[in-house]
Structures are given as structure tokens and as C-alpha cells.
Amino acid sequence: MTAAEPAVPASFSRPGDVQPVGPRGQWTLTFRDEFNGSEVDGSKWQYRSTAESDWSDEPFGTGNPDSKQLEFDQPRNCSVAGGALTITAEPDNIRSQSGHWYGWSSCLITSTGQEGYTFRHGYVEIRATLPSPRGFWPSFWTWHAHGYGDRAETDIFEYFSDNHRNLYLSWHWDNDDTCIHQPNFDPSEGMHVYGADFRESGTDFYIDGTRVCHADGPPPGAVNLMVSNFVYSEVPPEQGSAGHMVVDYVRAWQR
């Protein structure tokens, strides 16, 4: 059974002043992608990150089989239309340049690179609908930027689609901990806003403008943004199913 392609509205409502849905204050917009074109904007995003271990040029993409991922991430699984980015994870048959075989494919985008967007302090948010069938692992997260060696991963959200009740908000620096938040909505049934405010005193996590979690301690270094829809090896999808992550926008601000 193949999952139906998600309906993407012709347009989404946009806040007129382009201010965060999360924390109030004096903010300057420093990064945005509204996905209004017909393809991923290569001036803002790349398809490969050092967070992934299996880099391949032919075919082009990455995998990370040692991190509970089943998919090979490649550009063609990211599509832009109707003011939204859709990341599709689906059955496939790919052998990477290293010789590793993948039975699934998906897509990962990152703001990394010499000219990419990086930050240490500031607020970032995404508006997205998450996949419904079991076996998919969408995330909005950060990874240490080019030239910064220590791990600086923060998961603004992770979601495992076998359980629609839990969102995982994690920081992998200093105390290395996770908040498990149970929202009063199903993340697969509509657009919601997920964000994080990175400050010297710690990081606050927001969902639909409400602070739901806090992590103590300063961010360890410069990071970039990551958007992904992995295939989860511990609770794999049913054969033939597909998982769609639909993203309205990604934005970032500085105080």
C-alpha cells in the first residue's frame, strides 16, 4: 500500500511583519526560505553534511547506516511547489559509492558551507506537517558549522511517526538531555511551528509560540540548520509506504 501524496495548498498565510511565533522582543530577520520557487534554493541549502558518514558522488548523496537510518538522502527526494518544500521518504534501490545498499531514499538539506548560514545565538523556527505512517523520523536540528570541531547538535524537534503523541526536544552538548513533549495535536494533521531560542544562559524550545522546554548552558559554538526526514531502522515502515514532511518555511532571527 502506497501512501497518498499530501495535499499542498496553493499558498500559506504569512505573518505580515515576519516576526517569530515564539519569543517576543526586538528581532532582526537573518535567514528565511519561504519555498516560493520551483526547486530548492542552492544559495541557501546544500544536500550533504558532516553529520552523515557515507558520502557518495555517484550516486550523489549521503547515508548514515550507523545512526539507525535506513535511507540514502539525495536531492531528487526534495521538491518545491505551491509555496512548500516536500521531503519524501520512500522505498528505493540504491548502492552508494562505498558499496552500501539502501532500500529507502529521502532528502536532507543543510545551511552549511563556506557561504552558508551559521549562528551561535538567535531564534530559529520551522512551520511543517509531519508524516503519518509509521517508520519515519523527521527533524529540524543544528549541527556544528564548518571550522568548528566540537559536536553542537540541538534537536529543535524530532518525531518518530510510530507514536504521534511524542515530540523529542534534545541538546547534545553540556548535560546532553531530552524533553519529551506531548502536544495537544497530531503533528501529522496540520501545520505547526517548532522553534528554539539560543541564548548564552541556555536554550528555550517553543511549539506554536509556547515555551515547552529549557536547557541550561551556553551554546558551545557556531552551528548551521538541518531539515531531514529519515527512515527509522528500529521501527521500519511497512514495505511500499512513503512518508512526507511538508515545510511551509524556515526562518532565523538575531536580537
- With respect to residue 14, please indicate whether it lies within any of the assigned structural domains: no
pLDDT single digits (tens) 188-222: 999 999 999 999 999 999 999 999 999 998 888 89
pLDDT value at residue 220? 82
- Cα torsion 152, 155, 160, 161: sign: negative
- With respect to residue 20, please indicate whether it lies within any of the assigned structural domains: no
- With respect to residue 11, please indicate whether it lies within any of the assigned structural domains: no
C-alpha radius of gyration, the chain, whole number: 17
- With respect to residue 2, please indicate whether it lies within any of the assigned structural domains: no
Whole-number Å distance between alpha carbons of 185 and 213 = 17
Q: What is the share, in percent, of the chain residues with pLDDT greater than 70?
A: 90
Tell which residue, 207, 90, 220, 108, has the closest CA to residue 154: 220
- With respect to residue 52, please indicate whether it lies within any of the assigned structural domains: yes
Q: Are residues 229 and 152 in contact, defined by beta-carbon separation less than 8 angstroms?
A: no
Q: In the predicted model, what is the mean pLDDT of residues 49-54?
A: 94
pLDDT classification of 2: cutoffs 50, 70, 90: very low
Q: In the predicted model, what is the mean pLDDT of residues 152-171?
A: 96
With cell 550516486, the residue in question is 59
- With respect to residue 13, please indicate whether it lies within any of the assigned structural domains: no
Q: Are residues 214 and 199 in contact, defined by beta-carbon separation less than 8 angstroms?
A: no
The DSSP call for residue 37 is S
- Cα torsion 237, 104, 32, 178: sign: positive
pLDDT value at residue 148? 58
Number of domains in the chain: 1
pLDDT single digits (tens) 78-92: 999 999 999 999 999
Q: Give the N- to C-terminal CA distance of the chain in Å, as an integer.
A: 48
In this model, does residue 46 exceed pLDDT 80? Answer: yes
Assign residue 105 the CATH number of its domain: 2.60.120.200
- With respect to residue 8, please indicate whether it lies within any of the assigned structural domains: no
pLDDT value at residue 145? 86
- With respect to residue 245, please indicate whether it lies within any of the assigned structural domains: yes
pLDDT single digits (tens) 95-150: 999 999 999 999 999 997 556 899 999 999 999 999 999 999 999 999 988 765 56
Whole-number Å distance between alpha carbons of 80 and 77 = 10
Residue 59: domain span: 29-254
Q: Mean pLDDT over all residues of the chain? A: 90
pLDDT single digits (tens) 13-40: 344 468 999 999 999 999 999 999 999 9
pLDDT value at residue 4? 38
